[in-house]
Structure 1
């Protein structure tokens, strides 16, 4: 066997292991995709994207945040793709064409759903958790425009906004955050913090921070490799050639050695970088979420100062409320999430072309009600989302029958069929959960009332020696083990 054939065999074996590992990861994250993952087109897409990765990138993938994760995470998002709503959600930038439809699947708790507008390999060299200012820690900030007059600052703000939108379309979330941060600072200097012209920079900056926070949360919930070539402890493969393969074997061993050296170097760097990983992660996540909340609350305040009857500002207000609702879910403030999302739904209902967005919000509200153990309300919101998407599905079918639809219509039809089916399953699960909860509540002993306590005192014997066995035999009142707070913390 030649060295070329040996390398090809090694590559092919790794591809098979990588494909199997991908299936395990996808199914463990979302079992509802089991019926789709074995379809030739889906699996072919996975293999094609996996094959585009270098071996070092594949090795990096198992370690989480590092250089090889960009292509791997893009592949994972593509495998999970389903039509739902445009990536830019409701408010497209007025100076740019709408982003292409980027799709994602429903989850019972969409706060952990992947956000398509992000570059996961981004490593910020500056702190983007606050707008760029003229000085940082008392030192001049080279990224800030100094000595500009008002017209020049307006032009610079437009440039940063355009660059931010462009970065979003390219899924480069880190660059988008930096550009929108600079635009916010310039808008405040030119127009003031709560001026109408400052809304767009604030909203884009806050939504980009939210996107980044969602993606971080999504990545952290990915299961670690448990089997296949990239599982921990896997030994290097040995390729033997019965007709004299000393050269091929040496080549294969050299490849394996290079991968091992890369992994060792990366592990060492990671160990040095992370002294207190848990504390740092919690602090970073809290800072990111809190900054996004502050920025979006400013955007909401700007909206409240406008004419709420204007459809343009209704959409903008609903966009901000939707972002704040998602942030509340991420920070486990489910009551606030329900309040913000229901207000956003109310604003969007009279408007056109909002069915998909409203249906997504209904699912988020339903997920929050599930955590709060308000099962009947969860069922109600799931059914509302189902009704909207089912109506859209019927309309798409009519377009297909009339031959009015192109490839986009057919793609949307296929995705909607899966979504409607998944929503139907979510409704059934919520109903079953509600029924089980009612049965458990009926079996639970009633709490002690004042009359019961008085009666128990009257029946208590005077002799303490007689009271002891009775107390030991009494069964205590059972308190439910899970509470809304406990359940929320397990998300």
Structure 2
């Protein structure tokens, strides 16, 4: 199980998400069999499995979206070429009709007869293009549902432990649960999870910690989807303020060091 977890984390970092999902799944099965489903030894495996499933669902959604965009572009191109062909044919037929004014009626009959099979061809091509459109893949929903279940299990196990590390891991599980809810457009649930995450982080982290900025950002995003723009802006501003505070805290000792170096350089000539 330890080796599977290590390999899964490596594959997750390298972007090999399907392989990571399989390895975390195997690790979860082994750990739950040995320690029990709600054992604290299973929490990390559940969390990693849920996180990788969320990434897999996003990846599959992105691939499906690109495929649909490509299909739309090819349909537009085929429609344009068909229109150009029809225009060229109608132009040639009109020219022939002008040259043969005596046979206008026959010319009209031939053009009508030629247009009918073209229309049938166009209808056939449109039907084929409609049939070629990919259907919605139900795997995305199942992956997101399974991700939610795994992350919920991890959160419940972490919350039982009162240590700072476990509470922060529970906050991370809340954050990922909120992201799952965003993907499924359950914005109320996402906001609730992000708030629980922020509450735990504010209790155990410094005010300028970048994890707080991420939670504020996700809350701003969720409120934006809910069209509650005032709350959204407030959380975006809080995220910016947190990041600026972090930058200031990092720069302060650097400025102090630069000033000390400057003072020491001024002393050197006297020595």
Task: For residue 178 of structure 1, report the CA deviation from its aligned partner.
Answer: 0.8
Aligned-pair CA distance for 1:166: 1.8
**Paired position in structure 1 for 2:178:** 325
Cross-structure match for 1:378: 232
Q: TM-score, normalised by structure 2?
A: 0.66
Which blocks of at least 5 consecutive residues in structure 1 are unaligned?
1-156, 226-230, 234-270, 405-491
Alignment of 1:166-205 (within 5 A): 166-205=10-49
Deviation, structure 1 residue 358: 1.7
Which residues in structure 2 correspond to 1:83-482 (within 5 Å)? 157-218=1-62, 277-279=134-136, 281=137, 283-307=138-162, 310-352=163-205, 355-398=209-252, 401=255
Q: 1:444-487 CA distances to partner (integer Å, 9 max, x unpaired)?
A: xxxxxxxxxxxxxxxxxxxxxxxxxxxxxxxxxxxxxxxxxxxx
Relative to total residues, which structure has the larger helix share, 1 or 2? Answer: 2
Q: Deviations over 1:39-95 (max 9, x none)?
A: xxxxxxxxxxxxxxxxxxxxxxxxxxxxxxxxxxxxxxxxxxxxxxxxxxxxxxxxx
Q: Is the 8 A contact 2:172 2:197 kept in 1?
A: yes
Change (3 A) 1:375 1:190: same
Matches of 2:135 and 2:7, distance apart in 1: 34
Matches of 1:367 and 1:373, distance apart in 2: 10
CA drift of 1:399 comes to 5.1
Find the counterpart in structure 2 of residue 58 from structure 1.
Answer: none
In structure 1, C-alpha distance between the alignment counterparts of 2:191 and 2:211, rounded to whole Å: 15
Unaligned runs of 5+ in 2: 71-75, 79-127, 259-271
CA shift for structure 1 position 174: 1.5
Larger Rg: 2
Aligned to 1:407: none
2:203 aligns to what SS in structure 1? coil
Q: Is the 8 A contact 2:21 2:52 kept in 1?
A: yes
SS of the residue 1:295 aligns to: helix
Given that 2:161 and 2:167 are in contact with CA atoms closer than 8 Å, whether structure 1 keeps it comes out as no
Give the secondary-structure state (helix, strand or coil) at the position aligned to 2:44: helix
- Cα deviations across residues 347-395 of structure 1 (Å, max 9, x unaligned)? 0113346722221221111121122222221121111111101112223
CA distance in 2, matches of 1:165, 1:316: 16
**Contact preservation (8 Å) 2:159, 2:167:** no
Inter-partner Cα distance in structure 1 for 2:185 and 2:2: 36
RMSD: 2.9
Cα distance change on mapping 1:278 and 1:209 into 2, 3 Å: same
